[in-house]
């Protein structure tokens, strides 16, 4: 599936579902779309095709850590940070999410992602199911952080 066709399909599916979205410029991706309110939790979800892995679709959401959690995390030494990141990675693995810890706009965030890499999954129903799944993973990860951190 060509990049422009993949993007056109994703946009058409989102419009068909009445979901509002916007384009995001990211030089690492062929295209990136931000759905403002996705899934049962109504969280922002990104959909993109990485330039490094064309032909796959990545669907993900970032959980913002709370200010008190960020302050605590920033106070950690390297070993404590590694332990925390391993705990988060283990949790994300348990809910079948790929995770990535990032810092954006001075805030610590934990991204949870699902990769659609089989062409038979890259269709309207597959994308909508994944949006719901990522929304639920976002909420589970946020609860996990509140309980354990």
Q: Please state the length of the chain.
A: 149
Is there a contact between 49 and 29 (Cβ–Cβ < 8 Å)?
yes
CATH code assigned at 100: 3.30.1460.10
**Both tokens assigned to 106:** 């001075």
**Using H for helix, E for strand and C for coil, what is the string for the chain?**
CCHHHHHHHHHHHHHHCCCCEEECCCCCEEEEEEEEEECCCCEEEEEEEEHHHCCCEEEEEEEECCHHHHHHHHCCCHHHHHHHHHHHHHHHHHCCCEEEEEEECCEEEEEEEEEECCHHHCCHHHHHHHHHHHHHHHHHHHHHHHHHC
The low-confidence residues of the chain, meaning pLDDT below 50, are none
pLDDT of res. 137: 97
Q: For the chain, how many structural domains are there in total?
A: 1
Domain span at residue 103 reads 3-148
pLDDT digits (tens, 9 = 90+) for 71-102: 999 999 999 999 999 999 999 999 999 999 99
pLDDT at position 121 is 85
Burial of 120 (0-12, 13-18, 19+ CB in 10 A): exposed
pLDDT for residue 4: 79
pLDDT reported for residue 2: 60
User: What per-residue confidence (pLDDT) applies to 79?
Assistant: 97
Q: How many CB atoms lie within 10 A of CB 129?
A: 16
Q: Please state, in angstroms and as integers, the Cα–Cα distance from residue 78 to each residue in 85, 107, 109, 145, following that order.
A: 10, 18, 18, 19
């Amino acid at each position: 599936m060509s990049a422009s066709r993949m993007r056109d399909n994703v946009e058409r599916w989102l419009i068909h579902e009445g979901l509002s979205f916007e384009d995001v410029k990211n030089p690492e991706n062929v295209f990136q779309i931000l759905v403002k309110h996705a899934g049962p939790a109504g969280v922002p979800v990104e959909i993109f095709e990485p330039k490094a892995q064309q032909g796959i679709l990545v669907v993900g959401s970032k959980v913002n850590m709370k200010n008190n959690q960020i302050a605590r995390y920033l106070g950690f030494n390297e070993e404590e940070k590694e332990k925390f990141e391993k705990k988060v990675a283990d949790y994300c693995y348990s809910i079948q999410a790929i995770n990535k810890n990032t810092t954006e706009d001075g805030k610590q965030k934990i991204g949870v992602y699902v990769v659609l890499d089989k062409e038979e999954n890259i269709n309207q129903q597959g994308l909508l199911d994944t949006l719901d799944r990522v929304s639920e993973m976002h909420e589970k990860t946020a609860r996990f952080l509140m309980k354990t951190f």
